[in-house]
Amino acid sequence: MIDFSQIPSPCYVLEDRLLRKNLELLQYVQQQAGIEIICALKGFSMFSTFPMVRQYLAGATASSLHEARLAFEEMGSKAHVYSPAYLDKEFDELLSYSSHISFNSLNQFEKFKEKSIANGISCGLRINPQYSEVETDMYNPCIAGSRLGITRNQLGDTLPEGIEGLHSHTLCENDSYTLERTLKAIEERFGDLLKQAKWLNLGGGHLITRADYEPEHLISVLKGLKNRFPNLKIILEPGSAVGWRTGYLTSTVLDILDSQGINVAILDVSFAAHMPDTLEMPYKPKILGAHQEPVAGKHTYRFGGMTCLAGDFYGDYSFDEPLKIGDSIVFDDMIHYTMVKTTTFNGVNLPSIGIWREDDTFDLIKSFGYESFKDRLS
């Protein structure tokens, strides 16, 4: 439905209507289950959309002072905050943007509890239930040696005085059945403490807006949890689910070359700098109009970014017609965990940011240049 000829290259472009569709589903789950869903800014921080997000969700969760300030200034709500550790020089300012603060250790809580309680903050502890189905170690917070969360043996039979909630985040783009099994592990280890708490934050990783997700099962699971622990306010904080499949990254073919029998198309974007999760997770991004895997007899290309990093490439994809220099290549699902992770490595420019409106018009929200590169350096 988008006229990509109206959109510059490279550019992240979000579709208003797709974001609204996701938000409507999240709001439905929120209302039916009687819980609170907030937007995780670490996965989706496109603040030009926050007025729409605020119509449907209860607020935002932040992992730093800057994210908390962004939520406060652009979404108009104080944030639920969690960080592995807090800085003394930032903490007083952080308090002014926060409603809830979860601490990663008892040391951190003891250090900051007096200031937090005096400022009306609802304090929590991040727990490690020692159960996660995340297969990529980089995204698994429960592997041996993980720095994230407190294991059950570090806590006594009662919550520390001043702690009102528990925070658990062990999912990554998982479904409600994974959550159901995770809750079993949480209750086995922390059930007695849950009875003493006022709230339980189940973190992110709930990919509620994915096509094969079963929202009704999630609602059932959450209602069951509330029945078992009627004292608890339940909070979910997805990031990917908000921005899931809501937009694209446009790019242009700059050159095509033969590399020892492999056709390589070099783009005006970088996988390493603009789509780092494709290399870190890793996963293969979808390209509109392409065969996502090589097809014998068709025109096949490996796509390379414009940095000098040897590994700045991804492929291979096939096309019905041969590519030409100047052709447009559009990557799908490039809104969540993309803009928030971009860098200016090699001095490459950042993609512009725009929105395709519900009335089929395009708004260029922001463009970048030399200053964006220079401001990160000294």
Cβ-based neighbour number of residue 128 at 10 Å: 22
Judgement on whether residues 238 and 254 belong to the same structural domain of the protein: no
Give yes or no for residue 343 having a pLDDT over 90: yes
- Per residue in 115-158, pLDDT (tens digit) is 999 999 999 999 999 999 999 898 999 999 999 999 999 999 99
| Residues 371, 357 within the same domain | yes
Is 258 assigned a ligand-binding role in the annotation? no
In which domain, by residue range, is 226 found?
34-242
What is the widest separation between alpha-carbon atoms in the chain? 70
Is a pLDDT exceeding 90 seen at residue 35? Answer: yes
Q: Is residue 159 part of a domain?
A: yes
How much is the mean pLDDT over the chain? 97
Does 27 score more than 90 pLDDT? yes
- Pair 180, 95 in one domain: yes
Cβ-Cβ contacts under 8 Å for 45 (sequence gap 6 or more): 67, 70, 339, 340
CA dihedral 177, 180, 184, 186 (to 10 degrees): 120
Torsion of CA 74, 77, 80, 81, to 10 degrees: 40
Residues 258, 187, single domain; the answer is no
Are 307 and 289 in contact by the 8 Å Cβ rule? The answer is no
Q: What is the DSSP string of 244-256?
A: TT-EEEEEEEEEE
Summarised one tens digit per residue, pLDDT across range 41-52 is 999 999 999 999
Residue 5 is predicted with a pLDDT of: 95
The H or E element that residue 201 is part of is strand 199-201
- Residue 315: pLDDT band (50, 70, 90) is confident
Residue 161 lies in a domain: yes
CATH number, residue 120: 3.20.20.10
Same domain, 224 and 279: no
pLDDT for 364: 98
Q: Same structural domain for residues 48 and 135? A: yes
Q: Give the per-residue pLDDT at 357.
A: 97
Let me know whether 123 and 155 are in one domain.
yes
Model confidence at 286: pLDDT above 90: yes
Of 250, 258, 343, 259, nearest to 288 by C-alpha is 250
Model pTM? Answer: 0.96
| Torsion sign, CA atoms 89, 90, 93, 96 | negative
Task: Say if residues 166 and 197 touch (Cβ distance below 8 Å).
Answer: yes
Q: Are residues 60 and 137 in the same domain?
A: yes
Q: In this structure, is residue 24 part of a structural domain?
A: no
Residue 289 and residue 155 share a domain: no
Does residue 101 share a domain with residue 121? yes
One domain, residues 228 and 99: yes
Task: List 366's β-bridge partners, or say none.
Answer: 353
Residue 21 located in a structural domain: no
**pLDDT exceeding 70 applies to what percent of the chain?**
100
Question: Which one of 242, 259, 294 terminates a domain?
Answer: 242
Task: Give the pLDDT of residue 1.
Answer: 79
| Helices assigned H by DSSP within the chain | 16-33, 50-56, 65-70, 88-96, 106-118, 176-194, 215-228, 240-243, 271-274, 277-280, 370-374
Residue 182 belongs to a domain: yes
CATH number assigned to the domain comprising residue 348: 2.40.37.10
* Domain contains 18: no
